[in-house]
Each structure stands twice: as C-alpha cells, then as structure tokens.
Amino acid sequence: MANIKVPYLDLKAQYQRIKPEIDAAIARVLDSCQFVLGTEVAGFEQEFAAYCGTAECIALNSGTSALHLALLAAGVGPGDEVITVPFTFVASVAAVVYAGARPVLVDIDPRSFTMDPAAIEALITSRTKAILPVHLYGQPADMDPIMEVARRRHLVVIEDAAQAHGAKYKGRPVGSIGDIACFSFYPGKNLGAYGEGGAVTTSNAEFGRTIRMLRDWGQDRKYHHVLRGFNYRMEAFQGAILRVKLRHLERWTEARRAIVGKYNQLLAGSGVELPTEMPWARHVYHVYTLRTHDRDALHAALQMEGIQTGIHYPVPVHLQPAYADLGYARLTLPESEKAADEVLSLPLYPEMTDDQIERVSEALTGLAATR
C-alpha cells in the first residue's frame, strides 16, 4: 500500500462521475447564448434558497463579493466596526476593510475553531454594526449566544458560510440563522463551481433587494442607478453547473462524514488530536483538521510519502503583514495563534477510496509513533 499516492483533493474524480450531466448543462448555456445571470442562475437561486431554508438567494461572482455586499446592505461603512475572527481565510476580514469599516477581532474557541461567543460583548462599542462569525472547516459557530448578544445590542449578524454548505446548527441549516449569510462556490469548496462563484442567502426582503441591485451596478431598472453598485453578477455557466452539483451535495456530504468516521477510528490513539464535532453541529467537513505539536515536520514527512496535506491557516489574519495596521500584537489572540501553529488538514473528498483513507492513516500513525 505504501506506493499509493493521495492528493489533498481530486476534482477530476468528481467530474468523471457526473460528466454527462455537467456537459449537458454547459451545452444548454451555449445553446441559450444567455451568459450572465438569466434563467440558469435564477433557477439555481431558487434551488439554493430552498436548500438553505431562506426566502432568497442572490447569486454572485465570488464569496468575497458576497461578504462585501452583505456588509454594505447591513449599512456597514467608514467609522463602523465589525466583530469577526482572525483564524479564518483572509477574505472574512478583507471584506470588512472593503466596506471601509474596522475589523475588531475576537479569539476562537480551541475545540470548535469558531468564534468564542463569551468574548464578544466586551468588544462591542457605539460603533459596532455587525458580528461576522465564520463556520470554519464546515462546522457552524455557536450561533445561539451570538444571536442573543446581537439582538440585545441591535447588531446585524452575517454568517460566513463559505466552507459550510449544508451544515446545520441545532438542526437548522447555516445560511438561515443570521440576518444574512455568505457562501463561496470556489471549485474546492463543498459545493464548487467550475470557476469563481458565490451567493448571499437572506430572508430579509430589504437586504435581498439591496444586494440584488448592488451586484448589478446599483440599478433598479436598466440604466437607472440608485446605488453605487458593482459588477458582481454570476455567470450562467456557473449557475447551470451548480444546479447539477447541488443535486449531489447531500450524498457528497454523507460521503465526507463517512470518511471522517473512518479517519477517527483509524487515528484513535495515534497521538494527534482529532477534530471535534460540537454537540450543536452537523459538521460538513470541508476540511478534516488535526492538531499536533510538530505540525511542520509531519506535513513535510507526509509529503515525502506521497500524501498531500494542507494547513488552514498557517498565519492568523492579525499577524499578516497586510493587516499589521489593525494593531494586534503577537499573543493578543492566543487561541488563534496556537491553532495556526498546530493545525494540519488531511486529504478529504467524497470520492476517496478506503485504500487511500487507510494509507493516510497508516502513514500518519507510523510517523506520529517515531516522534
């Protein structure tokens, strides 16, 4: 088995299994010559809103655009503050800066890797407009206490659900819990387009209307610009492809969860700390992340054995050079910093074979034992 190579992700394996459906969807768009928005995108919006249990979905050209427009619709602008986490993909924090506001960073809970709700209230000021929790790795943040403090202090809650399509919090789908939620359909995400893509979900009609206008130049009708908008429209190819893939998403999520069950069993007692599915969560395992003290050595040794792993993320946003001016020194957000030093993501995609899962587990167990 030692000669089995395991990539971190295998998009080709997925495409091969759904090729006829995808190719037909692409041909449909070509025949229609309707390349931007149009019926395929509108169809996807309806189907994804139904999947998330929201009144509306507005399809966009990326998850970053979704965060940007969600913040603008929430009224966030210069002089405002938005509370979010530093242990995330950079876009969560960058979007706050796009909106002209100041990101105020709150540490994570070390078990869930998501926003620590107990630390929020002390950070709220008269300038705070919104709270932006991230459902990192596919696990929902602890939303009840976040919603409670937001309601009491009149703040908007924007979920960053870019990694969490289909995840549930106490039985409710992410995307339907906060006031607005943002999804990414970047190809490697659990629901991935074949190019860039994103969406907002909301059941607030006013937010929905604003975001729909902002994505298409702020028009309320053609060439009447009531808002200063953007070109953030979704392409028809991506809408058509996402409609096909959405029909497979539950099955893929169950496959991910089954693989995680096997990893958990095979890696128990290996000495690395396994991920925790919190009691409130249906975790959709966008990534399967371990903690280990000599992460960099393990990452390199697995690479030598033909096993690709990932690090999500090696540097928290407050320690990135681009965000040094936010003014957070090292040791100010200790759980995020510790996680950044310890996390290692194993290969995980729905088409993984038992041989591959066993190969990864065996190599990891062997390496962990020799440390």
Q: How many residues form the binding site for ligand PLP (CB under 6 A)? A: 14
Contact (Cβ atoms closer than 8 angstroms) between residue 185 and residue 198? yes
Name residues contacting ligand PLP, limited to 139-178 (CB under 6 A): 160, 162-163
Cβ proximity to ligand PLP: between 39 and 320 the closer is: 320
Cβ proximity to ligand PLP: between 94 and 240 the closer is: 94
Establish if 134 lies at the interface with ligand PLP (CB under 6 A): yes
Name residues contacting ligand PLP, limited to 236-275 (CB under 6 A): none
Interface pattern 85-114 for ligand PLP (x via CB under 6 A)? ---xx-xx----------------------
> Which one of the spans 5-13, 26-34, 49-57, 83-91 is the region binding ligand PLP (CB under 6 A)?
83-91
Establish if 62 lies at the interface with ligand PLP (CB under 6 A): yes
Cβ proximity to ligand PLP: between 45 and 160 the closer is: 160
Question: Which residue has the CB atom at the shortest distance from ligand PLP?
Answer: 63
DSSP symbol at 226: S
Cβ proximity to ligand PLP: between 199 and 260 the closer is: 199
Contact (Cβ atoms closer than 8 angstroms) between residue 79 and residue 253? no
- In whole angstroms, the minimum distance from the beta carbon of 108 to ligand PLP comes to 13
Residue 138: which region, alpha, beta or left (left: phi > 0; alpha: psi -120 to 50)? left
Name residues contacting ligand PLP, limited to 172-231 (CB under 6 A): 184, 186, 198
User: Which of 159, 175, 186 has its CA nearest to residue 92?
Assistant: 159
3-class SS of residue 95: helix
Interface pattern 14-53 for ligand PLP (x via CB under 6 A)? ----------------------------------------
DSSP symbol at 168: E
> Which one of the spans 84-92, 220-228, 342-350, 352-360 is the region binding ligand PLP (CB under 6 A)?
84-92
Q: Residue 45 has which token pair?
A: 């919006």
- In whole angstroms, the minimum distance from the beta carbon of 171 to ligand PLP comes to 23
- In whole angstroms, the minimum distance from the beta carbon of 93 to ligand PLP comes to 9
Q: Exposed, middle or buried: residue 303 (CB in 10 Å: 0-12, 13-18, 19+)?
A: exposed
Contact (Cβ atoms closer than 8 angstroms) between residue 108 and residue 115? yes
How far, in Å, CA of 251 to CA of 85, rounded? 31
Establish if 58 lies at the interface with ligand PLP (CB under 6 A): no
3-class SS of residue 296: helix
How far, in Å, CA of 216 to CA of 225, rounded? 9
- In whole angstroms, the minimum distance from the beta carbon of 62 to ligand PLP comes to 4
Q: Residue 208 has which token pair?
A: 């929905």
- Give how far Cα 143 sits from Cα of 12, 98, 133, Å: 35, 25, 8
Q: What is the largest CA-CA distance in the chain?
A: 68
- The set of residues, in sequence order, having a beta carbon less than 8 Å from that of 143 and lying 6+ positions away, is 133, 157, 159, 169, 177, 178, 280
How many residues belong to the chain?
A: 371
> Which one of the spans 25-33, 62-70, 108-116, 338-346 is the region binding ligand PLP (CB under 6 A)?
62-70
Contact (Cβ atoms closer than 8 angstroms) between residue 37 and residue 199? no
Q: Number of C-alpha atoms within 13 angstroms, CB side, residue 149?
A: 21
How far, in Å, CA of 296 to CA of 304, rounded? 13
3-class SS of residue 118: helix
- In whole angstroms, the minimum distance from the beta carbon of 265 to ligand PLP comes to 28
Cβ proximity to ligand PLP: between 107 and 160 the closer is: 160
Strand partners, 59: 199
Cβ proximity to ligand PLP: between 139 and 270 the closer is: 139
Cβ proximity to ligand PLP: between 289 and 356 the closer is: 289
Cβ proximity to ligand PLP: between 59 and 91 the closer is: 91
- In whole angstroms, the minimum distance from the beta carbon of 251 to ligand PLP comes to 22
Cβ proximity to ligand PLP: between 169 and 186 the closer is: 186
Cβ proximity to ligand PLP: between 7 and 187 the closer is: 187
Residues that bind ligand PLP (CB under 6 A): 62-64, 88-89, 91-92, 134, 160, 162-163, 184, 186, 198
